[in-house]
């Protein structure tokens, strides 16, 4: 009986240790992401982050592991946005959506925090990213696709993604043609989306 009790205590301690380690990784990732988004939003700041400032893959994956947490940190907001906008596409298509969010960050006319960029327009009922205002649940449903989205979000915040959009700040699905598309310069089509940037650098 005593051996069973000891074994139970050991297992409990091991499980608690793993939970604590995961929580610590998530906290580290969120703190790093906050600094990285501030740097990304600073005009003219192209200094790459120091190795100690870079979000690691285990840290990013520890954030919002089930895809159910509130959208209140940069990794979750960016990962959930690219998950809902392009999870059915290949890596290039998903990265392109991440590029748009990061290109908007701190640019005149857009907020300087990832979550605010993703949620922009909701107060007027005209969301910049349609998934945020579609009335459906925002929880991620596919573990593998969400893990892939978090990995791309991690690289985007670390400044490790190529800009596949050539500086785009807008996009739409190839099957539609919104009226605003004539106001901007088309930069590229990646997967199912067509990307645009302002003609003279002004966001609208």
Q: Where are the alpha helices (DSSP H) in the chain?
A: 2-40, 57-62, 74-86, 91-104, 114-119, 143-158
pLDDT at 136: 83
Q: What is the layout of strands, in order, in the sheet containing 184-190?
A: 170-173, 193-198, 184-190
Express each pLDDT in 150-183 by its tens digit: 999 999 999 999 999 999 999 999 999 998 899 9
Q: 101 pLDDT exceeds 80? A: yes
Mean of all residue pLDDT scores within the chain: 86
Residue 125 structure tokens: 């009922």
Adjacent-strand bridge partners of 172: 194
More confident residue, 111 or 200: 111
pLDDT at 133: 82
Output the pTM of the full model: 0.85
75 and 63 Cβ atoms separated by less than 8 Å: yes
| Listed range (16-20, 21-25, 43-47, 151-155) with the worst mean pLDDT | 16-20
pLDDT at 16: 54
Q: 13 pLDDT exceeds 60? A: no
pLDDT at 91: 93
Q: How many residues does the chain have?
A: 204
Instruction: Report the SS3 class of residue 59.
Output: helix
pLDDT at 115: 94
């Amino acid at each position: 009986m005593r051996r069973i009790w000891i074994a139970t205590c050991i297992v409990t301690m091991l499980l608690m240790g793993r939970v604590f380690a995961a929580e610590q990784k998530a906290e580290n990732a969120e703190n790093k992401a906050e600094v990285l988004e501030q740097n990304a939003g600073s005009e003219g700041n192209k200094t790459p982050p120091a190795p100690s400032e870079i979000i690691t893959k285990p840290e990013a994956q520890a954030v919002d592991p089930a895809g159910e947490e509130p959208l209140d940190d940069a990794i979750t907001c960016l990962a959930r946005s690219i998950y809902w906008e392009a999870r059915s596409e290949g890596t290039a298509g998903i990265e392109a959506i991440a590029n748009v969010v990061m290109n908007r960050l701190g640019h005149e006319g857009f907020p300087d925090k990832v979550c605010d960029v993703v949620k922009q327009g909701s107060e007027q009922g005209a969301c910049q990213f349609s998934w945020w205002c579609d009335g459906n649940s925002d929880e991620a449903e596919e573990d593998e696709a969400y893990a892939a989205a978090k990995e791309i979000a991690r690289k985007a915040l670390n400044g490790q993604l190529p800009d596949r959009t050539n500086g785009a700040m807008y996009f739409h699905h190839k099957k539609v043609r919104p009226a605003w598309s004539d106001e901007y310069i088309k930069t590229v089509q990646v997967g199912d989306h067509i990307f645009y940037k302002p003609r003279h650098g002004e966001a609208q």
